[in-house]
Structure 1
């Protein structure tokens, strides 16, 4: 049997030490030996290497010692300049940029409201630059309220999308501001990732019902994006209209007079006064399609108005040929939460990889 190389053993030890510090924030070498299960000499060597590489630093804090209390211990933590992740959300309410450190703390945040999606190309670079000015940014995640091309990260214009930013390329805009990758996905996919972490269900559909209509399919714990990344664009799924005739889902809101003037965006204020049974019947048709094609264990209903119709949707779905559980979304700020969690995971991995350089 081939024995692992010393280099491999050192990298494994360094990763254990780094991840313990990411979790506990500060530890002595003795505490690191306990949390990692490594020997004290191994931990000491690992700490020495990580300090030399600039990833770990002595905090200057000491444990009580002397007079029978044992040796004085030094506390170590991640170095203050190891870097952060940038998290950006592009939504009808505006553009938000925040920096997240390896502990998961938000260490900088800026929000810029917008009156029109056309403002985003100008706002995005300025707000990102302002947020990252005081930080070493290693990578970025972006949540956009628009379809996203899976291979390029560019925003895609589809018929009847209410929030048309245009063919913006966040990767091109943001890459000059940081040292690592820019990962772009649409807001509903990020929301589904956050919900997956919260409910722990491996197979579900996340139905977003707000000013726009969207869906994310999670199968075996993974968001399924499709060939071009456009899976879950449900506006044109055929369902039951107000008169009982078949029509695209988005047209239901047009016939009910629930779309904003000159836009396909749904007028949420007017919708709240609409007949919930008519809306639930249309939503039930969409759920039927989801159950038929994806076989989810549960359908999670999120968005600005979807959860308010949960009882009517549940009642409608109870009459469907194939039964499926329906629950309300449980995560606050789901798109931001999902994008932030991915940024944190990638940032921690990037620091581990930096220790091996």
Structure 2
């Protein structure tokens, strides 16, 4: 009987998450249970502080039936944080169980970024955003523009990484801001998850290539992001490809040879790259990126390659990549990313809402 009640309560909670407010009669019809069963579930969830009477009523009386009360998730049921850590700054969004952003805070980061500075910025935006929310955050999901250790959630310092923040520990930084877990992943992996959710028709096996200040690749296979043993799958910067004058070199060195790095760093100067764009430069970049794609396609066997990022989404560069890839032995579709506005944060936001819903449902048991 307890299992039946738990299953009913979960269905009631998920129905309210999808529809925001429902009467007991509407819940019964929607879920396919009796009105008394729906009423008992609402009573249990109300006593647990998860569901509340909104005060709104259905029209009733004078032959129109009994007045019905609308129920919704309790206002203080909790929220989740979606946190972005990137070269341009830190941002935190507060997400509710409906997937809506109800508060937001941003804080810039000077270059070069230092661990203490980044940690302070993350704490600041988390506190500011949470302070604007009607309920405290239960958990946090973090997108970081650096490799992430799969076991610990710490950022990993790799040679020539463009965003140098040392081994920052977002889990420790945010521990005091949330009641539950802090989940951390690489920004390109989150961007791929946002793309997977937005794709029509859906993509279950694809590679997502991010071309911006940094270079990254996410591999999605059987509808799951593949992170590798330590979380470093998809680090493509040092894959050998064809560079200027047809010389073999790591992908990151191509931009050094072309004079497209920011002074003193390995970060790509996106504005300069786009301003200097010409047919010869397009061809060089197309050959270099397509050489990397050939390796990715040979090893991962995706149905498509999605290209995103500030310069990867440039139409002329995208066509140059397609042209460079066209002569290879393995051909797959190369398409532009659908999600253009902060795709990594969009992916983290989706996951934060999903985890928040699951946590709320689990608390009902």
| Residue-by-residue CA offset, 1:250-302 (whole Å, 9 max, x unaligned) | 00111111111111011112212241001000011000100111111111000
Q: Which runs of 5+ in 2 are unaligned?
A: none
Residue 310 of structure 1: aligned partner: 318
**C-alpha separation in 1, matches of 2:269 and 2:60:** 66
2:299 aligns to what SS in structure 1?
Answer: helix
Cα distance, 1:312 vs. partner?
Answer: 1.1
Distance in 2 (alpha carbons) for counterparts of 1:262 and 1:284: 27
Aligned-residue offset at 1:130: 2.0
Matches within 5 A, 1:181-200: 181-199=181-199, 200=202
Match of 2:118 among 116, 120, 123: 120
Deviation at 1:126, TM superposition (A): 2.0
Which secondary structure does the structure 2 equivalent of 1:261 belong to? coil
Q: In 1, distance between residues paired with 2:33 and 2:110? A: 56
Verify the 8 A CA contact 1:317 1:324 in the aligned structure 2.
Answer: no
Counterpart of 1:108 in 2: which secondary structure? strand
Would the aligned equivalents of 2:108 and 2:121 in 1 still touch at CA under 8 Å? no
Residue 225 of structure 1 deviates from its aligned partner by 0.4
Residue 55 (structure 2) pairs with residue 49 (structure 1): no
Aligned to 1:3: none
Match of residue 333 from structure 1:
342
Matches within 5 A, 1:148-167: 148-167=148-167
Per-residue CA shift, 1:80-136, capped at 9, x if unaligned?
Answer: 000000110001111001110001111111011121322212211122122223531
Q: 2: distance between equivalents of 1:259 and 1:94?
A: 19
Distance 1:270 1:238 in 2: 24
Q: Which runs of 4+ in 1 moved over 3 A?
A: none
Distance 2:21 2:124 in 1: 35
Pick which of 131-140 and 168-177 moved more: 131-140
- 2:265 equivalent in structure 1: 263
- Alignment partner of 2:106 out of 81, 102, 111: 111
- 1:28 aligned residue (23, 40, 53): 23
Establish whether residue 61 from structure 1 lines up as the match of residue 56 from structure 2: yes
Query: For the residues of structure 2 that align with 1:85 and 1:211, how far apart are their CA atoms?
Result: 29
Within the candidate set 336, 341, 347, 2:356 is matched to 347
Equivalent residue for 1:102, pick from 92, 97, 106:
97
TM-score w.r.t. length of structure 1? 0.97
**TM-align CA RMSD:** 0.9
CA contact (8 A) 1:112 1:127 kept: yes
TM-score normalised by L of structure 2: 0.95
